[in-house]
Amino acid sequence: MSTICAVSTPLAQGGLSVIRISGENAIDIASRIFVPFGDKQVSDMQGHTCAYGKVIDPTKNRQIDDAVLTVFIAPKSYTGENTAEISCHGGVYITKEILRICIAHGAVLAERGEFTKRAFLNGKLSLTQAESVMDLISAQGEYALRSANLTREGRLFKEISASAKELVRILGELAAWVDYPEEDLPDIEEAALSVSLTQILNVLDRILADYDNGMLLRNGVDTVIAGKPNVGKSTLMNMLLGYDRSIVTDIAGTTRDVIEETARLGELTLKLSDTAGIRDTDNKVEQLGVELAKKRLENCMLVMAVFDTSRPLDDEDTELLDYVEQLKKHLIIILNKSDLTSCIDSEQLKKYSPHIITISAKFNEGREEIQKITEEIFSLNNYNPDSTVFANERQKSCAETARKYLKQALDALKMGATLDAVTVTIDYATNALLELTGEKASEAVVNEVFSKFCVGK
């Protein structure tokens, strides 16, 4: 297998950069481009030790940078292969130069996620553990971090793998029965079989039930702040961004005209966009705006409908509420400008949503209330961050497939079907679980998983 190299830190100016080399020739390549100060030799370095020295370009007889080289000897490394990591000064040119000379000395540029893929192929990580590495990197809050760490420690793998092993055991028993009916084998206890299958089904159901919450924590809640001009939408948006504004980031892969800002609200990330009303108009430009607003409302998960409490509701306000109601979206009705005299009776709004709050965005009052209600809506107040969760659609869909076949097996047993019919469905369920853990995943599945990683990981 080739020796790969990549820059593992973001390619931008910073304090340090790390270039990682992994594979059979990693130490050899490092020994040719790195000269330790003093009388140390790279080839003599033990695993998990480092040396301070200079990175050189031997072909041009020139020094590139002072750096620290850390050596890991197979199999005691992240990838399970010989690995060398060069920590150099974080300049883009320096980093690229070091990468270039690694390649000139025989390394090839790593593909996305190739270090972690090798760790998986070398048995250092299960597929679910490997996937959790990306979750760790992208975790934006404590819950998401805890959940990714639990998966990385192998919790999900252990639970699913144990279920798969139990199915394999059952399959073994069934196969003996189906293949050697004339032998004097103990009877298959169908009741006991049902109990075992149901237990596995329960494990899957429990983990699947937390999927939506897990995804919410990872991906954030698409939220539209809707309301007429001047009700205080921008002020509310600023209040929600509040003190976290400095760490607000755009979410990659989303288009700018849809996601305008992201705000942290407790454990949740809200992906906020605001929209100015959906009132019918003859003006063509305004009509385009209305269509866009309607689309955003259709696609979001949560609507915050904002009203100026110092003004009575008018047709445009009720039109918005009716529209959101018809879309069956989670709705928080926000009566803004509580510092002014109110002329809206919140009773008349209860039919649209039980979540009605009065705030003053301008005076920064109501943020906590909005957080509380949002967590309530998405059942986060009952969420246990230490529960096992599936991290992505791939894992979920494998679990759903397994669940479908387990149910079929249970139904077949109940209806008194032959044992070979039951065996086939259990076999399908087992395969789905083994694909989930990666113990029996096709190359295409593995490639797909790692293609979502960043280069250098």
Structure tokens at 402: 């397994």
Closest approach of Cβ 229 to ligand GDP, in Å?
A: 4
Closest approach of Cβ 296 to ligand GDP, in Å?
A: 15
Closest approach of Cβ 371 to ligand GDP, in Å?
A: 17
Is 54 within 8 Å of 35 (Cβ atoms)?
yes
Residue with Cβ nearer ligand GDP (112 or 362)? 362
Closest approach of Cβ 293 to ligand GDP, in Å?
A: 13
77: closest CA among 134, 147, 21? 21
Closest approach of Cβ 451 to ligand GDP, in Å?
A: 41
Closest approach of Cβ 158 to ligand GDP, in Å?
A: 50
Going by the DSSP 8-state scheme, the letter that residue 111 receives in this structure is P
Radius of gyration of the chain measured on its C-alpha atoms? 29
Question: Half-sphere exposure (CA, 13 Å, Cβ side) for 144?
Answer: 22
Backbone angles phi, psi at 270, to 5 degrees: -100, 130
Closest approach of Cβ 335 to ligand GDP, in Å?
A: 10
Residue with Cβ nearer ligand GDP (117 or 337)? 337
Closest approach of Cβ 289 to ligand GDP, in Å?
A: 13
Distance CA 398, CA 404 (A): 10
Closest approach of Cβ 249 to ligand GDP, in Å?
A: 22
Closest approach of Cβ 362 to ligand GDP, in Å?
A: 3
Residue with Cβ nearer ligand GDP (59 or 341)? 341
Distance CA 81, CA 122 (A): 8
Distance CA 442, CA 448 (A): 10
Report the run of H or E that residue 35 belongs to, with start and end. strand 34-36
Backbone angles phi, psi at 326, to 5 degrees: -65, -30
344: closest CA among 306, 372, 303? 306
Residue with Cβ nearer ligand GDP (159 or 365)? 365
Q: What is the DSSP string of 312-379?
A: ---HHHHHHHHHHHHHT-EEEEEEE-TTSPP---GGGGTTT-S-EEE-BTTTTBSHHHHHHHHHHHTT
Distance CA 329, CA 341 (A): 29
Residue with Cβ nearer ligand GDP (362 or 404)? 362
**Chain centroid offset of residue 342 CA:** 43
Residue with Cβ nearer ligand GDP (15 or 229)? 229
Residue with Cβ nearer ligand GDP (199 or 230)? 230
Closest approach of Cβ 348 to ligand GDP, in Å?
A: 21
Residue with Cβ nearer ligand GDP (17 or 336)? 336
Residue with Cβ nearer ligand GDP (227 or 385)? 227
Residue with Cβ nearer ligand GDP (193 or 231)? 231
Q: What is the DSSP string of 183-222?
A: S-PPPP-HHHHHHHHHHHHHHHHHHHHTHHHHHHHHH-EE
* DSSP-derived 3-state class of residue 84: strand
Which chain residues interact with ligand GDP by CB under 6 A?
Answer: 227, 229-235, 336-337, 339-340, 360-363
Q: How many beta carbons lie within 10 A of that of residue 272, not counting itself?
A: 26
Residue with Cβ nearer ligand GDP (157 or 307)? 307
